Structure 1
Amino acid sequence: MKITASLIDKLIRLRMGETLPSSAIRGEWVEELLRDGVLISCSHGSRRSIMASSPQDLEQSLKCIDERLGNLDKMKYLLSSEASRSEQATETGNSKLVPVRSCPGFPVNSYEPITCCLNGRQIIINPEEGSFVFIADWQSFSVPKDVLVVNIENMENFRLVRQQQALFLSMFPGKQILFVSRYPQSSDLRSWLQTVSNQYVHFGDFDLAGINIFLTEFHKYLGERAVFLIPQDIEGRLQHGSSERYNAQYQRFKNLSSDIPSLQRLINIINKYHRCYDQEGYIER
């Protein structure tokens, strides 16, 4: 059973003696309550409605169906306040009554020290090789405006930024770079990017699907300060890329185009050779 704020509100209304249209709540469990006489079906011409026979019987029966419905008022609070798992456990003993993301945020990485700010305090992003930093309180995280933010789509590339340092130094000489990733998948990274003014570079796979991700999930929201990373040697690499991947994506993205000249050129090259190239190929071994 999916527990929503709307469902809880309807059950509270029934508990208070209100009558609801029979279409307001449906399910096998509703039919069970009707058979047991906990809910009563009433006819009004062509329309039907339901009401509770007694508030006490309704609450007791709901608790037997699903423990999350044992205390409607408490459940309404937990849903409306987006309570953490610890709050849920304190209130009910069950930390999983309401689905809550226990690990919001995104990881960051760098191959040189970058002074940032987290919760009003200075923090140096300079992970040891083989590690990275996870920013959970991303709403209070900020970086200097002249730092270039590079989003790396694939986790292997993100972990091994030092093994791609030559690529980044050649493309962005003299720039401090903060590498970010949207792992685990969520909108937190994009939401954070919308709050800062830093230039954004998208480093993903060189295929039609990867370009579509950039256009629809990042450029759409960040505008002209968002660019797609296109290495100078990409055409040579695409000549020996994966035709299988290209063929698998073609039907879905065959009409993909962009008004960004450099990106349209990349699309043309991909379609010219009928091949794709994954960004992991830029990791130096």
Structure 2
Amino acid sequence: MEKISLNIAKRIQLLIQGESIPHGQLKAKVIDQMLEEGILHLKLQGRSRKTVFATNAGAIANFLSSHLGINDLNNYIANLEHGTSRSENIVASSDSKSSARRTFKGFLVNCFSPVKTKMNGQDFLIKPQEGAYTYIHDFETFTIPPDTLIVGVENPENFRFIRKQAKLFNAESILFVSRYPQSNDLITWLQGIPNSYLHFGDFDFEGIRIFKDEYYQYLQSRASFFIPENIEVLIRTYGNKALYDKQYKTNTTETLGFNAALQELIALYHRYKKCLEQEVLIQVNSTH
């Protein structure tokens, strides 16, 4: 039961380990599907050279398990390399609890004030208990008031402690959505509703790239990038120089400043040679 070739399996293993690989070396349907679902990403280097990279190794593992029944990529590769029997490869690539279908769809939502929504035509009040979230499975029938602001939270820690960051957002009705689990379901839902979308992510080059590639290109004028009023003080005080150095070397930054607000934000990165992880806002806003 060979789901993907040995060559592609080894390259996926490298992507999981954090390496970038030329797009031309990844010609396979499974790669195209992971790019389409936002699990893998393309980066342009120079005028025409494209490389593929991943930001969430867990999303790749989940995809391989739910779509292809490959539950242990290392064992799968070892079996192909050593020419094990078909029955042994089946054990490595599938089991009675997995099949080539999605086991979960949808996305997580959270809020610090109740939001009146509808699900399957029925009234549905979103009011998660502290320490719990609401998982939206039937997102195709999930509707919210058109004036509710949707805030997309990039990092799980900020999504978990959203109440500690309540003073950052002043809209009357806000629904927070999580970027994970990573799939096309969230952006599909966002494209089908009129609400404004505010991206709450890391204040670094990668955070802007995620906003640009995964949200702005689909939502355009409905999407904006959240920038705190005191962002300069935060970057100067809590910014991470190593993060700036690493991302500045590996990201093509010319196309990231596609509006005035982002241009000013990127200028602050360069001024202080620092970037800021959004988790800092949990502590800063809960103690002041």
Q: Same fold (TM over 0.5)?
A: yes
2:279 is equivalent to residue 266 of structure 1: no
Maintained 8 Å contact 1:182/1:188? no
How is 1:153-164 mapped onto 2 (pairs within 5 angstroms)? 153-164=154-165
Give me the CA root mean square deviation: 2.2
How is 1:59-208 mapped onto 2 (pairs within 5 angstroms)? 65=86, 94-96=96-98, 98-169=99-170, 172=171, 175-208=172-205
Letter in 1 for 2:231: I
1:143 partner SS: coil
2:123 partner SS: strand
How many Å separate the matches in 1 of 2:184 and 2:199? Answer: 15
Maintained 8 Å contact 1:149/1:198? yes
Residue number in structure 1 paired with 2:245 = 247
How many Å separate the matches in 2 of 1:248 and 1:67? Answer: 42
Residue number in structure 2 paired with 1:2 = 2
Q: Deviations over 1:113-159 (max 9, x none)?
A: 11101111110001111111010111111111000000011111111
Residue number in structure 2 paired with 1:29 = none
Residue number in structure 2 paired with 1:82 = none
Q: Number of aligned residue pairs: give it.
A: 199
Structure with the greater alpha carbon radius of gyration: 1
**Any unmatched runs of 5+ in structure 1?**
5-63, 70-92
How many Å separate the matches in 2 of 1:183 and 1:254? Answer: 25
Maintained 8 Å contact 1:114/1:124? yes
Change (3 A) 1:244 1:67: closer
Maintained 8 Å contact 2:205/2:253? no
Q: Deviations over 1:42-71 (max 9, x none)?
A: xxxxxxxxxxxxxxxxxxxxxx846999xx
Residue number in structure 1 paired with 2:224 = 227
**Any unmatched runs of 5+ in structure 2?**
5-84
TM-score, reference length from structure 2: 0.65
Residue number in structure 1 paired with 2:233 = 236
Letter in 2 for 1:247: D
1:276 positional shift? 0.8
Letter in 2 for 1:199: S
2:102 partner SS: coil
Maintained 8 Å contact 1:109/1:179? yes
How many Å separate the matches in 1 of 2:219 and 2:184? Answer: 13
Letter in 1 for 2:245: N
How many Å separate the matches in 2 of 1:189 and 1:255? Answer: 26
Residue number in structure 2 paired with 1:281 = 280
Change (3 A) 1:187 1:2: farther
1:111 positional shift? 0.7
How many Å separate the matches in 2 of 1:253 and 1:124? Answer: 42
1:102 partner SS: coil
Q: Deviations over 1:188-211 (max 9, x none)?
A: 111111111100000000001101
How many Å separate the matches in 2 of 1:197 and 1:211? Answer: 23
1:104 positional shift? 1.1
How many Å separate the matches in 2 of 1:216 and 1:146? Answer: 25
Q: Which of structures 1 and 2 has the larger relative contact order (alpha carbons within 8 angstroms, sep 6+)?
A: 2
How many Å separate the matches in 2 of 1:110 and 1:192? Answer: 18
How many Å separate the matches in 2 of 1:146 and 1:244? Answer: 40
Maintained 8 Å contact 1:150/1:201? yes
1:277 partner SS: coil
